[in-house]
Amino acid sequence: EIVLTQSSGTLSLSPGERATLSCRASQSVSSSSLAWCQQKPGQAPRLLIYGASSRATGIPDRFSGSGSGTDFTLTISRLEPEDFAVYYCQQYGSSPLTFGGGTKVEIK
Amino acid sequence: QLQLQESGPGLVKPSETLSLTCSVSGGSISSSIYYWGWIRQPPGKVLEWIGSIYNSGSTYYNPSLKSRVTISVDTSKNQFSLKLNSVTAADTAVYYCARDGYNQKRPFDYWGQGTLVTVSS
């Protein structure tokens, strides 16, 4: 099983600032099968990034993903008020499918 | 637009079986090339994939839950279902259904809103 570790539990940032979130895998994620999703309280997760760096349909270009192998990053270039939420990474390269523990981006 | 909606009892007694159904609209399970999956999230905790099913009935499960889980599909109703037996308080969670693109090298992309299931006597 691939364990995903999101080391930053909470990021306290201001609107307009840049957010950099990390996700480290316990073993290499095949075919860069790494996704990022956003979850707001009481809502289902929303897919942001797949294939490590491809934005899902309708996702603003302030969201970008990078990385390969075991280290991946989600960057939000300029935080908008609606971006304050919890972000999860997910690997879908091998079964069992697994999720990271999440990083909460909160308003400073 | 593809939509998924979970339904089922919100309260289950310990040792009994949790049963949920996911209804899919805006697309057909029978003609889909994707799997359809269940994921859960205990209150304040991490997302956990439970298992997924293809329209043919082919399934794959998380080994941590495999012994207690059955996922089935009813293409005539455009639904798929989850059964989790011998539940305990640890199975209390929000249960989500989602489209699973594992066989297409795609992640979960469309999700239901989730339904809270509480295990309590």
Show residues of chain A in contact with B51, CB under 8 Å. Answer: none
Stated as kind and residue range, the H or E segment containing B81 is strand B79-84
Interface contact B107-A44, CB threshold 8 A: no
Taking the CA of residue B50 and the nearest CA in chain A, the distance in Å comes to 9
pLDDT band at A30 (very low <50, low <70, confident <90, very high): confident
Q: Tell me which residue in B60, B100, B111 faces A44 most closely, judged by beta carbons.
A: B111
| B46:A95 CB<8 A | no
In this model, does residue A31 exceed pLDDT 80? Answer: no
Specify the pLDDT at position B62.
97
Task: List, as ranges, residues 4-33 from B with C-beta within 8 Å of A.
Answer: none
Residues of A in contact with B100 (CB under 8 A): 97
**Mean pLDDT score across all residues of chain A:** 95
Closest C-alpha to A31, from A98, A92, A75, A89: A92
Q: B107–A50: do the CB atoms touch at under 8 Å?
A: yes
Q: Say if residue A32's pLDDT is above 90.
A: no
Residue stretches of chain B with pLDDT short of 70: none
What's at B30, amino acid-wise?
A: S
Per-residue pLDDT reduced to its tens digit, A40-85 = 988 889 999 999 999 999 999 999 999 999 999 999 999 999 999 9
**In chain A, what percentage of residues exceed pLDDT 70?**
100
Chain B 79-98, residues with CB within 8 Å of chain A CB atoms: 96, 98
Q: Tell me, what's the pLDDT at B121?
A: 95
Q: What confidence score (pLDDT) does residue B11 get?
A: 98
Point out the residue among A33, A47, A97 whose CB comes nearest to the CB of B109.
A47
Q: What is the model's pLDDT at position A91?
A: 96
pLDDT at B3: 95
Does the pLDDT at position A8 exceed 90?
A: no
CA distances to A51, B65, B75, B106, B112 from B94, in Å: 27, 16, 25, 23, 11
Distance from CA of A98 to the nearest CA of B (A): 7
What digits encode the pLDDT tens for the residues B74-101? Answer: 999 999 999 999 999 999 999 999 999 9
Q: For position A72, what pLDDT does the model report?
A: 96
The answer, for B103 touching chain A at a CB cutoff of 8 Å, is no
Sign of the C-alpha dihedral, residues B80, B95, B66, B52?
positive
